[in-house]
Structure 1
Amino acid sequence: MQVLGAGVGRTGTMSLRTALQQLGLGPCHHMDAVLQDMAAQVPLWVAALDDKPDWPAIYAGQQSAVDWPTASFYSELHATYPDAKFILTHRDPNAWVESFSETIMTALGGRSEAPPELHAWMDMALAVIARAGFCHGMSNDEFAVGFEAHNAAVQAAIPASHLLEFQVKEGWGPLCDFLGVDVPEGEFPRTNDRKQFWELMEEGGA
């Protein structure tokens, strides 16, 4: 694993995944990869939550990983892949809370209405998110505090020489400088707005 994302969901992780793959650092693992292969991936992440991770199996065929579940295991992953570079995607806390509440938490809060085949994935996802400090029933203020606490914990755990704090609105420059690669042609990818999030969820449940 060459690059690992420590930023939680709804901080531009899908855009970063697309960018890393465009830079030749893919395939890049993302929660979408879990949804597309739930039979294999969900048990592996449940084991990781039980402190029995099999990182080579989880990331088989991947060069990088972003988003949850990865973001909840940054400390363990740094110990396992000490030479990997870490990227902490972030954004304004209040904007993040609004996006997180209206997408991820809303989707996972609908477990009782979800198809049975999604229940194991939803349970795992809720546990992963709780591991990062976010649980159903928390207020928006508590989510914002948790968001900043997660970011601070990442900053404390990962050496500055191996960590890029990054907002996708900054574009290619900081990312390419950090990775030591040339800036590609074209604009930095912008993907997975709230509409696209729900489309991905529907595809995963299909």
Structure 2
Amino acid sequence: MQVFGAGVGRTGTMSLRTALQQLGLGPCYHMEVVLNNPAVHVPLWNAVVAGQADWSAIYQGQQSAVDWPTASFYPELHAAFPHAKFVLTHRDPDSWVASISETIFTALLSRDDAPAEAQPWLDMCMKVIARSGFDPAMSKDELAARFFAHTEAVKAAIPAKQLLLFQVKEGWGPLCEFLGVETPATEFPRTNDRAQFWQLLEDGGATVEE
């Protein structure tokens, strides 16, 4: 594992995932991997929450990882992979609150209405997100404050030379410089807006990002 994303959902994680894979740092683990194989990955993350992490099983075949559940465990991952680099995706707190409230947290607050087969994944999501200090029932002000606190906690836990604070609107420059790779000639990827989120969720392959 070479790169971990410490940014929570809806901070550009799918765009970062796509970018890392374009840069040759894939496959890149994302919540989508969990959704594509919940029978394997949901129990693995439940074990992480319980303090019994098997990182080699979770990240088998991967070179990088972004998004929840990964983003909740940056201290543990830094200890397990001390030479890895970390990218903290972030955005304006108010826009993040609006985005996550209309996507991930809406889905979680209505989880009782979800099909039975989705319940283990939703339960795992609740536990993982709680590890980041978030609760879908928080007020907008509480969410914004917690979002800021997460950023500060990551900055305190990861050595500065191994951490990049990054907004996807910055494009390739800062990311490529941090990773020591050439800048692609193509535009930086931008994926998974709110409409795409709900379409992916409906299709059974939801991702949690912008």
Shift of 1:185: 1.4
User: Residue type of the partner of 1:71?
Assistant: A
1:125 maps onto 2:133 in alignment: no
In structure 1, what is the Cα distance between the partners aligned to 2:13 and 2:201?
Answer: 15
Deviation of 1:136 after TM superposition, in Å, equals 2.9
Amino acid at match of 1:60: Q
Which residue pairs with 1:156 in the alignment?
156
Q: Is 2:198 aligned against 1:186?
A: no
Note the C-alpha offset of 1:205.
6.6
Q: For 1:107-145, what per-residue CA distance to the aligned partner results, in whole angstroms no more than 9, with x for missing partners?
A: 111111111110000000011111101113210000000
Q: Distance in 1 between matches of 2:199 and 2:163?
A: 32
Kindly indicate whether the alpha-carbon contact (under 8 Å) linking 1:32 and 1:200 is maintained by their aligned counterparts in 2. no
Q: C-alpha root-mean-square deviation of aligned residues, in Å?
A: 1.0
The amino acid across from 1:171 in the alignment is G
Give the secondary structure class of the aligned counterpart of 1:192: coil
1:58 aligns with 2:58: yes
Q: Which runs of 5+ in 1 are unaligned?
A: none
The answer to whether the 8 Å contact 1:4/1:65 transfers is: yes
Distance 2:6 2:33 in 1: 17
- Residue 180 of structure 1 deviates from its aligned partner by 0.3
Q: Secondary structure at the match of 1:83?
A: coil
The amino acid across from 2:102 in the alignment is E
Aligned residues: 206
**Structure 1 counterpart of 2:6:** 6
- Percent identity (aligned): 69
Relative to 1, partners in 2 of residues 1:118 and 1:184: Cα closer, same or farther, differing over 3 Å? same
**Equivalent-residue separation in structure 2 for 1:62 and 1:136 (angstroms):** 30
For residue 203 of structure 1, report the CA deviation from its aligned partner: 2.0
**1:164 aligns to what SS in structure 2?**
strand
TM-score by length of 1: 0.98
Q: Which residue of 2 aligns with 1:91?
A: 91
How many angstroms apart in 2 are the aligned matches of 1:100 and 1:136? 9
In structure 1, how many angstroms separate the alpha carbons of the residues matched to 2:136 and 2:13? 22
SS state at 2:165 partner: strand
CA distance in 1, matches of 2:122, 2:78: 26
Helix, strand or coil at the partner of 2:164: strand
Give the whole-Å Cα distance in 2 for the aligned partners of 1:203 and 1:83: 37
